Structure 1
Amino acid sequence: MIKLDLSGDRRHFVHEGKPFFYLADTVWSAFTNITLEEWVYYLDYRRSQGFNVLQINLLQQWDASGSDLDIKPFAVNPDGSFDFHALNEAYFARAQQMVQMAVDRGFVPALVLLWCNYIPDTWAGQLREEKKMPLEAVEPYVRYAASLFSKFHPIYVISGDTDFPSERAKEYYRTALSIVKEISRECLTTLHIQGRLVELPEVFVNDPDLDFYMYQSGHNSEFQHMSYEMALDFYNKPVTRPVLNAEPCYEMMGYSRRVYGRYTRYDVRKAAWQSLLSGAAAGITYGAHGIWSWHKKGKRFGVTGEGFDAPYDWATALKFEGAWDYGFAKWLFEIYDLAGLQPWDIVMNDTREIRAAATPGYEKAAIYVPVNTVLKLNADLTDYEITVFELENRRVAKAPPLSLQDNMTVIDMHPFEGDVLFIAVHK
């Protein structure tokens, strides 16, 4: 069983003293939508791809696809609302069984305690007419959840897709965070916050019970640059913690706000590498449109607010090629021992899309180039051995010729047509 901790510099995760690259899949709707037979197939397939974390909503996901499984986390009132004071033990026993199956296969569960639609005043709380969880129900629910799941050493994701619009909303999350740490001091904690939100309230930035930062660059086609902008912002927060993009654009997800178009394998790969090389080097989360909501053909799908296009069925979405690209990113981090990468502002090209990072002693560097060009770097890399990884087909080549001009390294165009990663190792 994996038990995560933080590195001494609080920039990445470790397990048994060794760097741990957090590679998660987004499967928010697992406990309400997935049969045990499907779960086994899913777990074995994702494990083969190198995934080691699963992000799951402990409660019913508000925008899950329709399911034949009629199992709810709470008793249901005659009007269809939840009785938040009546926990359904059968639901949580089944969830516990599914977590045990995942842990047995080497996964770390990252369990969301309070998705924002359950909390008053939040953006989703205002869109949904459903009854909200009373504040006095938070403590018994969190204590019960911790009593069941803490033996698996999960990550507790205190919030789900939330903003912090009021003191009342913040009180829900402060309560849950303090209770989790009171009961399960050794379990790591974080907040999954609303897309493109970087203004984390000071009460959480300064809270010693919060272990790392999650952000989501999200699914809005106008703001994909936030994958690296937000990484830099969280990396430079006054309290140092590991940073990761926990929700970049999902593969084949329709653009949010009902804009026509879908994110391709290239788009999600680009978001991953731009995040990883801009301060969010602790790991990355993948998402496939059809997996997170666990969609089956013929079942309903509709999302209030965001309005994403229809998902693929889960069996098709599971095989999207981009998941292998994310596994390849993890492999490169592990093979080259890139834990602790820090942003390196050396790119002289007239774009912010090319991202660079280096290990703390500059023994190694990584540069992501999404579109081929002559690369200009404000650093002397003549004493580095440079390898080029073409990411679409995962081909490898020696670096093209480079020269030093006025203390600026100039690297000729590489031989590939797609996006590449340069890895430079000091000789």
Structure 2
Amino acid sequence: MIKLGIAENKRYFVSEGAPFFYLADTVWSAFTNIPLEEWNYYLDYRKSQGFNVLQINLLRQWDASGSDLNQEPFARCEDGTYDFYTLNEEYFARAEQMVEIAVGKGFVPALVLLWCNYIPDTWASRIREDKKMPLDAVEPYVRYAADRFSKYCPIYVVSGDTDFPSERANEYYRTALHVVKRHSPECLTTLHIQGRLAEVPDEFINDPDLDFYMYQSGHNSQFQPTAYTLAMDFSSKPVTRPVLNSEPCYEMMGYSRQVYGRFSRADVRKAAWQSLLSGAAAGVTYGAHGIWSWHKKGKRFGVTGEGFDSPYDWQTALKFEGAWDYGFAKWLFQMYGLTDLRPWDIVLKNTEEIRAAATASLSKVAIYVPVNTVLRLNADLGEYEFTLIDLEHHRFAAASLTVQEGITVIAMHDFESDVLLIGVKKIHFF
């Protein structure tokens, strides 16, 4: 069982004292939609790709795909709404069984306690008339969840997709955060927030019960630069914590607000690398359109609000190539020892799309170049040995560079896709 902690410098995760690269898959609807035989198949496949964290909604995901399973976390009232004071033991026993299986296969569960549709005043509550959870039901529910799941050392994601709209809503999250930390102080905590949101109330930024930052660059095609702008914002918060992009654009997801188009493998890879090299180097989360909602061909899908195009069947979505790219990113971080990368503003180009970062000691440099170009860098990198990595085909090549008057110039490469340049400072022996 993996027990996660936070590094001494508060910038990345550790497990048994060693750096831990958080590589999550988004499977919000697991507990309501996935039969056990499919769960085992899914876990084995993602494990083979290098994933080590699973982001799951502990309650029903409001925009899950239709399912033949009859799994609900609470008893029903006569009008069909949830009785939030009466938990369904059968549901949570099955959820625990799924968590136990996942942990046994080497995954860390990241369990969302309160998705925003259950909370008054949030953006989701304004477009849905669902009954909201009473505030006095939060503590017994969270305490129950902690008593049942904490033995598996999960991450507790206190909020889901929230916009912190009011003091009333914030009181729900404050209560849940403090209850779960009081009952399970060894488990890490975080907040999953609305896409493109940079502002988190100061009370949460300054709360010692919060362990790390998640942000969401999301699925709006107009705002994909938030993959790196939010990374920079959260990595410079007044309280330092590990940062990761917990919801970049999902592979083959339709653009939000029913805009025509879908995010490609290249799009999701770009979001990952721009996040990782801009201050969110603790890890990253992948998503496939058809996995997060666990969609089956012919089943219902579609909600008000963001409005995404139809998902793929889960069996097709599971095999999208982008998941291998995310596993490759984790492998590169581990192979080159890129733990604790920090943004380095050295790119001399009229674009922010190219991202550069270095380790604290400047012994290693990583540069993401989405479109081929002659690269000019405002640093003398002549003492570094550079490797050029084709991120689409996972090929490696030597990079050609020159240095003149303190400016490093790296020539055009021969690959057609985006690339990562990794420079390792040469060691001189005397």
Q: Give the structure-1-normalised TM-score.
A: 0.99
Tell me, what secondary structure is at the counterpart of 1:262? Answer: coil
Amino acid in the other structure paired with 2:174: R
Deviation at 1:405, TM superposition (A): 2.3
The count of aligned residue pairs is: 426
Q: Structure 1 residue 326 and structure 2 residue 331: aligned?
A: no
Equivalences for residues 52-67 of structure 1 within 5 A: 52-67=52-67
Deviation at 1:77, TM superposition (A): 1.4
Distance in 2, matches of 1:126 and 1:152, equals: 35
Deviation at 1:125, TM superposition (A): 1.0
Q: Structure 1 residue 161 and structure 2 residue 161: aligned?
A: yes
Distance in 2, matches of 1:82 and 1:304, equals: 20
Distance in 2, matches of 1:70 and 1:403, equals: 64
Match of 2:86 in 1: 86
Q: Give the structure-2-normalised TM-score.
A: 0.99
Tell me, what secondary structure is at the counterpart of 2:298? Answer: coil
Match of 2:386 in 1: 386
Distance in 1, matches of 2:373 and 2:95, equals: 49
Distance in 1, matches of 2:403 and 2:319, equals: 44
Distance in 1, matches of 2:350 and 2:408, equals: 15
Match of 1:409 in 2: 408
Identity %: 75
Distance in 2, matches of 1:364 and 1:303, equals: 45
Q: Which runs of no fewer than 5 residues in structure 1 stay unpaired? A: none
Distance in 2, matches of 1:74 and 1:3, equals: 30
Write the deviation string for residues 15-34 of structure 1: whole angstroms up to 9, x where unpaired.
00000000000000000000
Q: Structure 1 residue 359 and structure 2 residue 355: aligned?
A: no
Deviation at 1:408, TM superposition (A): 0.8
Match of 1:240 in 2: 240
Deviation at 1:80, TM superposition (A): 1.6
Match of 2:139 in 1: 139
Q: Structure 1 residue 29 and structure 2 residue 10: aligned?
A: no
Equivalences for residues 24-423 of structure 1 within 5 A: 24-400=24-400, 402-423=401-422
Distance in 2, matches of 1:303 and 1:321, equals: 27
Distance in 1, matches of 2:380 and 2:276, equals: 22
Write the deviation string for residues 346-377 of structure 1: whole angstroms up to 9, x where unpaired.
00111000000000000001000000000010
Aligned residues: CA RMSD: 0.5
Distance in 2, matches of 1:414 and 1:386, equals: 12
Tell me, what secondary structure is at the counterpart of 2:50? Answer: coil
Deviation at 1:126, TM superposition (A): 1.1
Distance in 1, matches of 2:80 and 2:231, equals: 41
Deviation at 1:78, TM superposition (A): 2.0
Distance in 2, matches of 1:19 and 1:332, equals: 13
Amino acid in the other structure paired with 1:235: S
Tell me, what secondary structure is at the counterpart of 1:14? Answer: strand
Tell me, what secondary structure is at the counterpart of 2:100? Answer: helix
Distance in 2, matches of 1:277 and 1:269, equals: 12
Amino acid in the other structure paired with 1:209: D
Amino acid in the other structure paired with 1:192: H
Amino acid in the other structure paired with 1:173: Y
Q: Which runs of no fewer than 5 residues in structure 2 stay unpaired? A: none
